[in-house]
Amino acid sequence: MMPQTTPRVCRDCDGFATATITTGLRTSDGARDTIRVNCPTCRGLGHTVPALRTARLTGGAA
């Protein structure tokens, strides 16, 4: 049996990269005013880049 690779899910947001938050206000047509917030770690992607690739992209050591 071949080993399964684990998905690279962001550890901070668990893959739920974007959240919609109500501000408590209403728009002129009566709908709730909302804002979208992205996870700062994965920048709204839901997954992370491996450490070695990140080091190559940023010029740092792995």
pLDDT of residue 33: 96
Reply yes or no on whether the pLDDT at 56 is more than 70: no
Q: Tell me which of 2 and 25 has the higher pLDDT.
A: 25
**42: containing domain:** 1-62
- CA 31 to each of CA 15, 18, 23, 26, 59: distance values in angstroms, whole numbers, following the listed order: 28, 20, 11, 6, 47
Distance CA 45, CA 51 (A): 16
**How many domains are contained in the chain?**
1
Residues 6+ apart with CB under 8 A from 50: 8
Q: Tell me which of 8 and 24 has the higher pLDDT.
A: 24
Average pLDDT over the chain reads: 82
54, 44, 50, 51: which is closest to 13 by C-alpha? Answer: 44
Distance CA 22, CA 34 (A): 4
Q: What is the pLDDT of residues 29-53, one digit of tens each?
A: 999 999 999 999 888 888 887 665 5
pLDDT of residue 55: 54
pLDDT of residue 34: 95
